[in-house]
Amino acid sequence: MENRYRIMARVPQGQGEIPEVVKVKTAPNKVHFCSDPDIEWYKDNVPCRRACPADTRIPEYIDAAARGDYDKAYAINMADNVLPHVLGRVCSHPCENVCRHGFPGMGDPVSICWLKRGGADYKKDAPKLKPAAATGKKAAIVGSGPAGLALAMDLALWGHKVTIYEGMPQAGGMLRYGIPRFRLPEKELNEEIDRIGDLGVAIKTNRWVGKDPTMDGLRKDYDAVVMAAGSMVPAKLNVPGDDAKGIAYGLDFMAGMNNGTINKAAGHVVVLGGGYTAMDCSRTALRLGASKVTVVYRRSRNELKVDEREMRETSMEGVDFQYLLSPIEIKKNANGEVESIVFNRMRLTEPGPDGRRQIVAVPNSIVSMKCNMVIAAISQNPDMTLSGPGFTVNRENFTTNLSKVYAAGDYVSGPRDIITAIGNAHKVARVIDQALTKRGRHGEKITSTVWRQTELGSYTGWKTVKGNVFDLIPRQEMPSLDHAARWDKMSEVDLGYNEEEIFWQGQRCYLCNHNVQIDGKLCILCYNCVDVCPYDCIKMLQQDYVRVRPNGGEPVAENKGFTYMVMDETNCVRCGLCIDACPVPCMGMEKIEVENTFTP
């Protein structure tokens, strides 16, 4: 994160310390480009929420979970990302990649994903959802994966009559058929699908749109139709021998395991790919009896599309990894079965203008690997036969070339991740709601809460921990099954935090929706707050060293004789020591909550 200097106060000339003393105290010889923050600035200052495609109120639910209010933590997540049980287990958590606690020198990111699960695991009662008054409008959703479920919940809550059409025997899409039960148990998945059904959403399974019903039929019967069928068609290998017996594709293999049609893997299994599906396939193959499993990725270890823990868990279970190998041929035996796979060694080029390194073949460098099965988990595509020939999507407003038809999730973007599909579904749902009602019924509510200095330590206003130690608590790894207990394909490997772990891990959150404020009318420029700050975040600056960005415009020098009290937000941990040290007192901590709203 770049330096984010926020003006906390402009102290008029002659207020507080005499000018000679102020001049000695102020930081010299560096111009600071500072902001008068508006609400968008404050949103940007919560990097985890900004990184979440579903705009989840992360500090709010972590704070609730740490306080033991699991029902509130679950309710926040259900409103924002629809599937807390699911995402607490299998979210790709882009939020953690930008967590301020993970900045250089600040430690490790907060366990944002696992704390989401903690709220879901320990809730006593899920919130009772009540739809708005009926609008008389009907919407059909094609697909019951994450995007389809999020669309259904939104539209049903807003008063529309919703029907989901799902081609498989049960709802859930790739959540049910593409993720192994040892990562996502059916019980928790069913609970969250049932809650959406309780809103009056009809879910019709074994119904393949394009055949029964037809697209024309849906357009005739419904006011809006949404293609949310994901990306379930596997990308083919397109190499000689890819018709051999023993070739499988990632999501097909996982679906077969989850529906019981695939219950055995033997010999050496080679999995091609570097994403979560490849990891799921490799770990599943071991549970189905494979004697050896090797994941082969055409790029380097540093470019795998999974997080470090997933890589570590997969390796610990016994999966081997090979890198910079690209398949060029499948060798078959006399019975047409896979006998080996042939690779060309690859190398990475220097980074291009976009910063990405390409891969090129190393001349005369061929590698052969004997195996009994090959699982290609390299990519997937949307099934465009569902929507008919010539189907196109306007990516700005999610409309299509067919009247009344919209598209959402992976059906628009191609294969992404669950949280991205849900975030996109929220956007599409708002577009549809406005089209159906001819009204803008969505906005946001901003709430401010301020804590002033207290005798017991100001941090007790916004923290529950006893003692200002929350910056020193180490990240706790997720408890998991012992290696010997993992081989039942239905046994969940990750066990979840217990309540004590939820408390302490929740304390690690800096609560970046909180911001130190100074009343400039009372500040005496004593310098105590600057002295006591453990990360040198607070600056007292003369006007010559301040340039102000007015509403994001070009920086200007105000030249009005102010002494500026400025916060460098990059490393502020919200410890409150500055507030405690203020002798006036003129400092406080302000919590700014931004909540999406709906007006019937």
pLDDT digits (tens, 9 = 90+) for 183-225: 999 999 999 999 999 999 999 999 999 888 999 999 999 999 9
pLDDT digits (tens, 9 = 90+) for 55-80: 999 999 999 999 999 999 999 999 99
Of 513, 458, 359, 470, the closest CA to residue 45 belongs to: 513
- pLDDT, mean over the chain: 94
pLDDT digits (tens, 9 = 90+) for 153-186: 999 999 999 999 999 999 999 999 999 999 999 9
Statement: 138-232+382-440 belongs to CATH 3.50.50.60:
yes
> How far apart are alpha carbons 359 and 344 in whole angstroms?
11
Give per-residue burial for 443-477: e unless 16+ CB within 10 Å, then b: eeeeeeeebebeeebbbbbbbebeebebbebeebe
Q: Is the pLDDT score of 536 beyond 70?
A: yes
Q: Which position has the higher pLDDT, 24 or 76? A: 76
Which of the four pLDDT bands, split at 50, 70 and 90, describes residue 415?
A: confident
pLDDT, residue 528, reads: 95
Which of the four pLDDT bands, split at 50, 70 and 90, describes residue 276?
A: very high
pLDDT, residue 589, reads: 96
Q: Which residue has the tokens 């997969």?
A: 314
519 C-beta neighbours (distance < 10 Å), count:
15
pLDDT, residue 554, reads: 85
CATH architecture of 243-377: 3-Layer(bba) Sandwich (3.50)
> How far apart are alpha carbons 64 and 412 in whole angstroms?
35
User: Taking residues 477-494, what's their average pLDDT?
Assistant: 94
Which of the four pLDDT bands, split at 50, 70 and 90, describes residue 2?
A: low
Structural domain spans, the chain: 1-46+443-472+513-600, 138-232+382-440, 243-377
Could you tell me the strand order of the sheet in which 587-598 lies? 442-452, 587-598, 514-518
Q: Do domains 138-232+382-440 and 243-377 have the same CATH topology?
A: yes
pLDDT digits (tens, 9 = 90+) for 421-446: 999 999 999 999 999 999 999 999 99
pLDDT, residue 28, reads: 67
pLDDT digits (tens, 9 = 90+) for 343-388: 999 999 998 888 888 999 999 999 999 999 999 999 999 988 888 8
236 DSSP 8-state letter = P
| Whether 172 contacts 194, CB under 8 Å | no
Q: Which residue has the tokens 């006591």?
A: 532
345 C-beta neighbours (distance < 10 Å), count:
16
Residue 369's DSSP bridge partners are: 341
Of 567, 581, 228, the closest CA to residue 422 belongs to: 228
pLDDT, residue 27, reads: 66
> How far apart are alpha carbons 111 and 359 in whole angstroms?
34
Burial class (CB in 10 A: 0-12, 13-18, 19+), 364: exposed
Residue 444's DSSP bridge partners are: 596
Question: Whole-model pTM above 0.85?
Answer: yes
Burial class (CB in 10 A: 0-12, 13-18, 19+), 153: buried
pLDDT, residue 216, reads: 94
pLDDT, residue 320, reads: 97
Burial class (CB in 10 A: 0-12, 13-18, 19+), 480: middle
Q: Which position has the higher pLDDT, 4 or 586? A: 586
> How far apart are alpha carbons 92 and 75 in whole angstroms?
21
pLDDT, residue 425, reads: 98
Q: Is the pLDDT score of 25 beyond 90?
A: no
Tokens of 4: 């984010």
pLDDT digits (tens, 9 = 90+) for 101-117: 999 888 999 999 999 99
pLDDT, residue 275, reads: 93
pLDDT, residue 472, reads: 85
pLDDT, residue 317, reads: 96
What's the Cα-to-Cα distance from 139 to each of 91, 145, 157, 195, 197, rounded to whole Å?
28, 16, 13, 18, 14
87 DSSP 8-state letter = H
Which of the four pLDDT bands, split at 50, 70 and 90, describes residue 552?
A: low
Q: What are phi and psi of 258, to 5 degrees?
A: -70, -30
